[in-house]
Structure 1
Amino acid sequence: MGSASHTEDETLAASFKFGTSFVDASKRETPLRTFLFGYKLARTLAPLLHSTLFDGISVPWTYKVHETQDASEFLPALKQSDIVGCAVTMPFKVKMMSAVDDVTNEGRVIGAINTVFLRKAPDGSTRYIGTNTDCVGVREAFQQNYPDIVQRAQGKPAMVVGAGGACRASIYALSEWLGASQIYLVNRLDDEVESIIDSLKESGFTGQLVHVNSIEQAAALETPVLVVGTVPDFPPQSPGEILAREISNHFLNRPEKGCILEMCYFPRPRTEFFELGINAGWTMIYGTEAMIWQGVAQQILWSELPIQNFKLTEAKEVIAKALLAS
């Protein structure tokens, strides 16, 4: 396992497979723009995070929201001369894969992009590259906070609870970077899990995925060391939701304990699932950690600066204050 700076620097180094540097010192002194493309963005903390990070690296760049339901607005917005990259969120993460010039392996396997960065082609033209930094956020949330547990997790099972938007990125991070031998998938609907397994296999994913849909099946399985929760913070109500919670509790209440990343953080970071993990004796990580680290990965790709340049403590403090005030 590499250090955090090593893994983030690898993200930047890998980006130059798609073209040469787009940003030079003069661009870092020029007022340029990035933006978030999506819909229903009133509660997003992304502009606050990115403005804080830009201030920290002393570049006069901005990050604004482009809220729309019209996908045709994407390319005209992206190809403005003062744009250095963008973020993509729902409902466009899948659709915009076909709008960019190329997609990284992470984006292709996960089947969605949340970031576009720019590189230069041999003829000097601009190339627009799609990637997925959500998986980087999951990886760094674990590695940054509990590297000893990550080391213990090598070659051991992991678990993802829920089949929402963060599920595929979590699977990628756990399997490709965090050394999971196999990944248990626990969800309220069986067909959602089967769809995820099928689509990941079609995209070339080679990790071992195990759909756990009964207490009896769970009882025969080894305890996972790393767990990612991707379920909204609502009490389980349907039979499938109740069963998924019972399966999760079955693992959490065993003597062996590991680390849980609870991806849900709005409107409150201490979700019901977070409290269940705390009470069961697991080490917990707030979902804001993954959110911040995926944003840092975006900034590294846009600015082409190493992670050492970023003031992460300030960013974490700003996001924590914003959540307390919400």
Structure 2
Amino acid sequence: MQRQFGIIGHPLGHTLSPLVHNWGFSRFDLDGRYRPWPTLPEELAAFMVRLRQTPIEGLSVTIPHKTAVMGYVDAVTELGQAVGAVNTLYWRDGVLWADNTDVEGFCRPLAVRGIAPKKALVLGAGGAARAAVAGLARRMGVAEVAVTARTLEKAEALAREFGVTAVAWDDRAQWGADFVANATPMGMAGRFEGVSPYPAGALGPRTVVFDLVYNPHETQLVLDAVAAGACLVPGIEMFLYQAVEQFRLWTGLTLPDDELRPLLLEALYGNDSPGETEDDIT
């Protein structure tokens, strides 16, 4: 019988997850199917009953269910509990587990590039920022981690939770970060396109910039970072590696990132797909 996987959230829009995981099933000759299941908040309880009855072997979870779904599983990993949100459900010995692979998605691109921040600043205080702060402070053990947001109270709440520093938005450029992660929607295609969340004058050759926004490929922050000679980590890398970790949890197999990356770039940017540069792979 074909193994069932999928993603829940609302809205799902043009999610790339089915492309990734169905390619993975084909790549390893597995009889599996991954599909989108748009799910409103009021439909979550019924869907979780369906998940157990079908059964659905693996599930990706996106907004607005990353916290609420934790109340419908049997167990949550320590990492999922620490982050306070999950994005992956899987079965082990009849137990339905919830985990967070966003942290791996954030940390893995830094590890493969040998990037070890000493003073890291996270822009934003939402779900992506939580994963970034957890990765930097808990997984990587960065000595100094700070979070900043337009609403200082939100930054302070997140900072208290993880034992890091809160920085006022207007003071973010003066904090002296050697690593800047953009976990805000600023720069994203649409009404925020062309806007950078970080002053260009604060960037330099010794700065590492990880813009989690990957549509468009060249956000204003990315353009500013390139112009300043900063080291750049492309935003698509977080999505890529969180998906690789999901697939591993479900199948025990590792998707080859060197094969998956061109697939994602083509899907996102088509004929304008950027080729790998030295900065992308070092």
- Class of the TM-score when normalised by the shorter of the 2 chains: 0.7 to 0.9
Following the alignment from structure 1 to structure 2, what is the Cα–Cα distance between the partners of residues 321 and 243? 25
Which structure 2 segments of 5+ residues have no match?
189-194, 272-282
1:302 has 2:250 as partner: yes
- The two structures have a TM-score, normalised by structure 1, of 0.74
1:257 has 2:213 as partner: no
Asked if structure 1 preserves the Cα contact closer than 8 Å seen for 2:187 and 2:213, the reply is no
- The partner residue of 2:79 within 90, 106, 115 is 106
Following the alignment from structure 1 to structure 2, what is the Cα–Cα distance between the partners of residues 213 and 261? 18
**1:188-203 counterparts in 2 under 5 A?**
188-198=150-160, 200=161
Match of 2:239 in 1: 291
Which structure 1 segments of 5+ residues have no match?
1-29, 121-125, 236-241
Match of 1:225 in 2: 178
Asked if structure 2 preserves the Cα contact closer than 8 Å seen for 1:182 and 1:210, the reply is no
Change in Cα spacing, 1:325 to 1:243, as seen in structure 2 (3 Å) is closer
Match of 1:14 in 2: none
Following the alignment from structure 2 to structure 1, what is the Cα–Cα distance between the partners of residues 18 and 181? 25
- Amino acid in the other structure paired with 1:285: V
Following the alignment from structure 2 to structure 1, what is the Cα–Cα distance between the partners of residues 180 and 210? 6
Asked if structure 2 preserves the Cα contact closer than 8 Å seen for 1:139 and 1:178, the reply is yes
Match of 1:171 in 2: 133
Query: Following TM superposition, by how much is the alpha carbon of 1:81 offset from its aligned partner in structure 2, in angstroms?
Result: 4.1
Asked if structure 1 preserves the Cα contact closer than 8 Å seen for 2:187 and 2:197, the reply is no
Task: Spell out, residue by residue over 1:150-197, the C-alpha distance to the aligned partner (whole angstroms, 9 max, x if none).
Answer: 2xx3xx111111223200000011112223112121222212212323
Asked if structure 1 preserves the Cα contact closer than 8 Å seen for 2:177 and 2:207, the reply is yes
Match of 1:127 in 2: 95
Task: Spell out, residue by residue over 1:68-89, the C-alpha distance to the aligned partner (whole angstroms, 9 max, x if none).
Answer: 2122233123213442110111
Task: Spell out, residue by residue over 1:22-57, the C-alpha distance to the aligned partner (whole angstroms, 9 max, x if none).
Answer: xxxxxxxx5201110111112211111111222222
Following the alignment from structure 1 to structure 2, what is the Cα–Cα distance between the partners of residues 57 and 209? 44
- The partner residue of 1:315 within 233, 238, 260 is 260
Match of 2:279 in 1: none
Query: Following TM superposition, by how much is the alpha carbon of 1:115 offset from its aligned partner in structure 2, in angstroms?
Result: 0.4
Task: Spell out, residue by residue over 1:190-244, the C-alpha distance to the aligned partner (whole angstroms, 9 max, x if none).
Answer: 122123234x2xxxx4x432324443x753x4x3333211122449xxxxxx996
Match of 1:95 in 2: 68
SS in 1 for 2:53: coil
1:137 has 2:85 as partner: no
Match of 1:41 in 2: 12
SS in 1 for 2:198: helix
Following the alignment from structure 1 to structure 2, what is the Cα–Cα distance between the partners of residues 274 and 77? 43
SS in 2 for 1:245: coil
Match of 2:30 in 1: 59
Following the alignment from structure 1 to structure 2, what is the Cα–Cα distance between the partners of residues 291 and 244? 20
Following the alignment from structure 1 to structure 2, what is the Cα–Cα distance between the partners of residues 258 and 57? 39
Following the alignment from structure 1 to structure 2, what is the Cα–Cα distance between the partners of residues 174 and 230? 13
- Amino acid in the other structure paired with 1:286: P
RMSD: 2.2
Determine what percentage of the aligned residue pairs are the same residue: 27
Runs of 4+ in structure 1 displaced over 3 angstroms?
212-215, 242-246
Asked if structure 1 preserves the Cα contact closer than 8 Å seen for 2:109 and 2:238, the reply is yes
Q: Which has the larger radius of gyration?
A: 1
Following the alignment from structure 1 to structure 2, what is the Cα–Cα distance between the partners of residues 229 and 213? 13
Following the alignment from structure 2 to structure 1, what is the Cα–Cα distance between the partners of residues 128 and 17? 16
Asked if structure 2 preserves the Cα contact closer than 8 Å seen for 1:33 and 1:62, the reply is yes
- Amino acid in the other structure paired with 1:98: G
SS in 2 for 1:33: strand
